């Protein structure tokens, strides 16, 4: 069955370190998204991609970057981790924009 996976599921890091969160989907979807989930804020869009070599900034992109070298993967990089980036991160993919997004299980990141 097609799926979307994230790794690691839990991560503890220190401020100032670079961190990369992996997202891999086997749906063969063109569209991929990264969200962060914080209490009281719901899910907020960080970055998204409509296809290989395409990346776009979302609502809360400062301090984050993504790259899309193939259809299956959209890694999220925190260039220099800050305590404000402690959150749960979700990756999602969809076949067409505005259609159903399929979510990964999430990565819980703690920045000390």
Partner 1 sequence: AQSVTQLGSHVSVSEGALVLLRCNYSSSVPPYLFWYVQYPNQGLQLLLKYTTGATLVKGINGFEAEFKKSETSFHLTKPSAHMSDAAEYFCAASNNNAGNMLTFGGGTRLMVKP
Give the footprint of partner 1 on this chain (CB under 8 A): 33, 35, 40-45, 48, 58, 90, 92, 97-106
**Is 19:82 a contact under the CB 8 Å cutoff?**
no
Q: Evaluate whether 94 touches 101 at the Cβ level (below 8 Å).
A: yes
Nearer to partner 1, 22 or 45 (CB): 45
- Cα–Cα distances (Å) from 57 to 45, 50, 84, in that order, read 8, 12, 18
Q: In the bound complex, what is the minimum distance in angstroms from residue 105's beta carbon to partner 1?
A: 5
List, as one string, the DSSP characters of 18-40.
Answer: -EEEEEEESS--SEEEEEEEETT
> CB of residue 16 vs partner 1: minimum separation in angstroms?
28
Nearer to partner 1, 16 or 97 (CB): 97
Q: Tell me which residue of 27, 46, 42 sits closest to 91, measured CA to CA.
A: 46
Residue 63 or 106: the one with the smaller Cβ distance to partner 1 is 106
Least gap, CB of 2 to partner 1 (angstroms): 14
Shortest Å, Cβ 65 to partner 1: 19
């Amino acid at each position: 069955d097609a799926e979307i996976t994230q790794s690691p599921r839990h991560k503890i890091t220190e401020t100032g370190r670079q961190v990369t969160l992996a997202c891999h989907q086997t749906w063969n979807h063109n569209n991929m998204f990264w969200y962060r989930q914080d209490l009281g804020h719901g899910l907020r869009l960080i970055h998204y991609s409509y296809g290989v070599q395409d990346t776009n900034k979302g609502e809360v992109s400062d301090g984050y970057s993504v790259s899309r070298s193939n259809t299956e993967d959209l890694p999220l990089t925190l260039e220099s981790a800050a305590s404000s980036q402690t959150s749960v991160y979700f990756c999602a993919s969809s076949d067409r924009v505005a259609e159903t997004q399929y979510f990964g299980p999430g990565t819980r990141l703690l920045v000390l």
